[in-house]
Amino acid sequence: MLVTDARGEIPFTFTAPDNLTAFRLMAVAADGSDQFGAGEKRLTVNKPVMAAPALPRFLRSNDAASVGIVVHNNSDAAGKAIVTAKADGATLESTQQIIDIAANSSARARFSAKASENAAATFEFTVAIGSDKSARPGAERNARDSVRVTVPIDRPRVYDNRLIVEQALPKNGAWSGSLGVGADVLRGESSLSITVDRTGVGDLAPGLRSLVEYPYGCLEQTMSRFIPLVAAKDLANTLDDPSLKGTKAGAFIKAGTAKVIRHQQGDGHFSLWPQSQTYPHLTAYAMWGLTVAQQAGEEIPSETFDNGIRALQQWANKGGVKPDGDGAVMAMGAYVMALRGKPDASLNTRLYAVRSGLPKWGQAFLLRAMKKSKADAAQLAELQKLVEAGITVDGTRAIVKEAAGKDHYHYMHSDIRASAMTLAALLEVDPQSKYIDKLALGIKGARGKAGDWVSTQETLWSLVALADYGKRAVGGETLATIKLGGKQIGNRKIKGAEIATFKLVLGDLPATADKLELAVDGGANVSVRVREARVDALAPIENGFTLKRSYLDAKGNVTRSFKAGDMVTVRVEVTAPETRQWVALVDPIPAGFEVVNPKLAAGGAQPNQPVTTNPDPWARRWGYVTWDHQELRDDRVQWFADNMRAGSYQMTYQARATIDGTFSAMPATIEAMYQPDVRARTAREVITVTK
């Protein structure tokens, strides 16, 4: 806000954006009473010479591409443009060009570049235009411009995670061992992670990070990303990882809640993807997650809960309760209602009547619902006895084994998910239960080598349950000392329930240092993991799917060579021997291509939905060949299906060749998101685009 001077004027200045375009300035004036006015003025930002980058949006390592700028000569005089190029993260065949350029016209300067193994490449171009008589290097120039652009470089990598040790050390305890890093490991992209804690639930950061970095963004996966951060935030000072707490975590949680809310449809239920089919189990899940976020201080509109709870109540009460997956969803809904102070005694009673036949995870939620609803103590005791009877104990560990029904994967279920839900229920209902410690050990023991679980659902529920488990009071402190190759690399005092995490890049450590030593003076749990990066050989994979990709020219011929400007048809063929649910198909595009988005066409064309064919009449009848969600990104196209019946499918979409060069077409992949071992991928291909 500006205030006028004695003459009623307001002088001011501003820096115009570095864009060659027109802008509109608008102003509104008002005095202290009831007088006001408004005005506007149009201005054009123009420079005698301007450089506009002509680059691909991304590159892949070893791609050879034509990079450069389009030089705009906005003067009334022709001249010669001297263009100088620099690159970091890529090599250039030449660094200078001189091009003729007419008055009030443009011309393109091209440089051949090859991408390195760096994570990004930065290109800097400088252009100077002088008259025809002064266009030699070093001569006087009367107009110039420069531009700098950084593009990411995608590097084919495979990451192997090795758990070197996970052990409880006594007072004045110590451990030593070898890292055993192979010679083919890319040390600059590999890391050593060491976790020390006194609660027994340390080493949570890898699981949290796997959720944060998960590549897809449906409702379930968005919720699975931020809810564990809410739980972890409650564990004061337990995660020594700046990327997963503080203001960064707060912004991440806020963005996640806003995205989840956008998945609520007009009937109050939630869908996996915006505007796709709604499912009651997603509604129960969303209502629970948003409630947890609200309790942690996030602002959630009241109508979101009102509409969601109403939708669950109407669905749960429109028919009978059956001891199946829907019954388990109703139990989760009953818990959410009770959690929000709106218990449904009638629903609890009907669910209790079929308690023995409910899936184990449904029994766990019913126990929590009845506890929150202050149900009859005898019924609570009977239900807890039933829940504990479903726990399988093996020595010091325990898990809950869920019978796999026909709708098992529809609810994204697994034994570890049921175990985590059961642990959370017992912590809430009976914190002294003899099964709690064993369930915690069983859940921790089910982690993969990377420190996470098989799916986002397993990881979410496991982290939430273990976070609650870790809140139990733990006294005392310990001093942890870490040495590598005889040299101290870490020293930390850990109090109570704190978790100390040491993460080191292998490239920053001496390559000859191999022996790792850990010592604690007060007793602690320690874990050591090595994450090793290697160049991915990109071999094809077939396990539960088969996948084929082809590039077609305008005549329908399969080819890998195109001219800049050509329209390319990409054909992806999938065979699913069995019916699968929650399927993701991803096709990375070459850096020299741009996916065509018909939504931007004049006249309002339909989205670039792949053409899908399947001879199975049941597939056509039930619509299981329809992709529920599609994303067009700079570097890939992604499709997602809630259901895919057994059969063969063919999808096509279009892209345009835009940048000349030689580009990697990374493998297309398909997977069942909650059975990630059921997947396939094509081989890497090389695509050539000529001028």
Could you read off the pLDDT of 468-507 as tens digits, one per residue? 888 776 778 899 999 999 999 999 998 887 888 888 999 9
What's 357's DSSP letter? G
Instruction: Please give the Cα distance from 629 to 106 (Å, whole number).
Output: 41
β pairing state of 143-154 and 59-60: parallel
State the CATH class of domain 199-470. mainly alpha
pLDDT at 559: 97
Contact of 413 with 454, CB cutoff 8 Å: no
State the CATH class of domain 541-690. mainly beta
Helix (H/G/I), strand (E/B), else coil: 342: coil
Helix (H/G/I), strand (E/B), else coil: 420: helix
Instruction: Please give the Cα distance from 479 to 259 (Å, whole number).
Output: 42
pLDDT at 563: 97
Structure-token pair, residue 513: 């240092």
Regions of the chain with pLDDT less than 70:
18-20, 131-142, 232-247, 405-408, 473, 598-626
Instruction: Please give the Cα distance from 273 to 276 (Å, whole number).
Output: 5
Q: Give the largest Cα separation in the chain, rounded.
A: 100
Structure-token pair, residue 87: 């690159």
CATH of domain 49-154: 2.60.40.10
Nearest 5 degrees, angle CA 616-CA 619-CA 620?
A: 95
Q: Which helix (H) or strand (E) holds 287?
A: helix 280-295
DSSP codes, 24-73: EEEEEEE-SSS-EEEEEEEEE---SEEEEEE--S-EETT-EEEEEEEEEE
Nearest 5 degrees, angle CA 69-CA 72-CA 77?
A: 140
Could you read off the pLDDT of 582-626 as tens digits, one per residue? 999 999 999 999 999 766 443 333 334 444 444 443 333 333 446
pLDDT at 141: 47
Structure-token pair, residue 369: 């619902």
- Domains 161-198+474-535 and 199-470 agree in fold: no
Helix (H/G/I), strand (E/B), else coil: 519: strand
pTM of the entire structure? 0.78
Q: Give residue 486's region: left, alpha or beta (phi > 0; psi -120 to 50).
A: left
Instruction: Please give the Cα distance from 422 to 434 (Å, whole number).
Output: 13
Q: What are phi and psi of 425, to 5 degrees?
A: -65, -45
Instruction: Please give the Cα distance from 432 to 161 (Å, whole number).
Output: 35
Could you read off the pLDDT of 239-285 as tens digits, one per residue? 555 666 666 777 878 889 999 999 999 999 999 998 889 999 999 99
pLDDT at 35: 82
Break the chain into its structural domains and give their ranges: 49-154, 161-198+474-535, 199-470, 541-690
CATH of domain 161-198+474-535: 2.60.120.1540
